[in-house]
Structure 1
């Protein structure tokens, strides 16, 4: 497999990207600050994921951090210097400038995922964690808030969500797996390879089918059962009528791998 490495042109390489076939690995690159989210890093992330979304050759992304942390949250020094009160809208736009992506993203949590770092892991579609990683919504310890945590109610039991928000105490990767916050816990040295392997599995599937599947899961957490079924039928109409819907069965019959066009 050919791998190329490059840095975004924003903010002195605060985000590094690598291509692994149809998979993009995005690395937050402020290791000395535990990848704390200052303005420049937030903007660099938006740019990287906008480019990912726009590139037809890229089908799945992996988000991770350089150094010992995934992301320690907002840059408290920058917040203090700016007397931050209510965060601006751009704080909530991390995975692209629209705040959400059509393509799937896997979080590869390689260390602390605290506050805004927890949010990044939450916003990704899937999450793998190193065995030493920890997750915490620590805003109560700094007099701040976490309104972005509201969607956790569709991911976690009510009392687990309450514990995370009220205590501010981090939980281990093992505990996060037990409560359904992460998909798998792996040895630290195997984390990135495991995330890329999962992303590659996703990327080998029909792109339109993958995108519709992601949207189906998302809308199913927001509407009732009957509406979800009706909406899913509408989402998959494009899939059924696509060129790829004919290519899949044809490739199976011809005993070869499918060649997806995304059309």
Structure 2
């Protein structure tokens, strides 16, 4: 049965029967900015997702129509005299938050600064045609070291323009440069994100996990080292029961019955 936190929570968590978790930043009145309560709620949600073996794909989105996440709470930063943010200031998937499962950002509106960071950190991104993206730090005297991995996602000169100007780009432009996987009309955004998640769920669980790890190894290592590391990572998949079930199901012309082992 699906479960969800009370609607007054800063971050909502829906655990679906199909193995998908939907995490919603739930402060639309403040454009889902990363206040302390949102950050802590998001950290708890990612932890819950990772720990639940029944959940295989996570989707993160924002409440309301205007913003996915407008970034950090600048007023709170000024009031606290924050200079260099603590390493764990924003819970970032696959960085300071340990995750081993695929994630999808369903961007429903503005994804600025920290909002861009969350969308960038997820494995895949589906965006509403009304969404906008921006790395706005240069406009408020801050910095964006977290944007470094963008060089593996978009062309260097496009990245340079985005960081140097701080100007927003449209969802269409984000799709054209490869930041976004799929576009959807606003009313179809979650259906598109859930459909993409369902496509991932069709795959063997261990194969999906190793496929994700292979992509990350390829971005972080040289060619030869990545090949060797990927071969090693793939052994658990090749030696699994599912590796026998897949070909057997194909030959018998039936859907496979994945066990994840």
> TM-score, normalising length from structure 1?
0.94
Q: Deviations over 1:111-139 (max 9, x none)?
A: 00000000000000000110010000001
**1:123 matched to which residue of 2?**
121
Distance (Å, rounded) in 2 between the aligned partners of 1:15 and 1:114: 18
Matched ranges for 1:183-222 at <5 A: 183-222=181-220
Q: Deviations over 1:50-78 (max 9, x none)?
A: 11111111111111000121000001121
**2:50 matched to which residue of 1?**
53
Secondary structure of the 1:91 match is coil
Distance (Å, rounded) in 1 between the aligned partners of 2:204 and 2:233: 14
Q: Deviations over 1:1-59 (max 9, x none)?
A: xx6241179xx511112233111111110110100001221111111111111111111
Distance change (3 Å), C-alpha of 1:180 and 1:97: closer
Distance (Å, rounded) in 1 between the aligned partners of 2:36 and 2:207: 35
Given candidates 6, 10, 16, the residue that maps to 2:12 is: 16
Secondary structure of the 1:99 match is coil
- Cα offset for 1:92? 4.2
Contact 1:15 1:44 in 2 (8 A): yes
2:86 maps to 1:88: yes
Unaligned segments of structure 2, at least 5 residues: none
- Cα offset for 1:100? 4.1
**2:256 matched to which residue of 1?**
258
Distance (Å, rounded) in 1 between the aligned partners of 2:96 and 2:107: 23
Unaligned segments of structure 1, at least 5 residues: none
Contact 1:45 1:95 in 2 (8 A): no
> TM-score, normalising length from structure 2?
0.95
Q: Deviations over 1:188-219 (max 9, x none)?
A: 11010000010011012111111111111011
Give the root-mean-square deviation of aligned CA atoms: 1.7
Distance (Å, rounded) in 1 between the aligned partners of 2:3 and 2:236: 34
Alignment size in residue pairs: 259
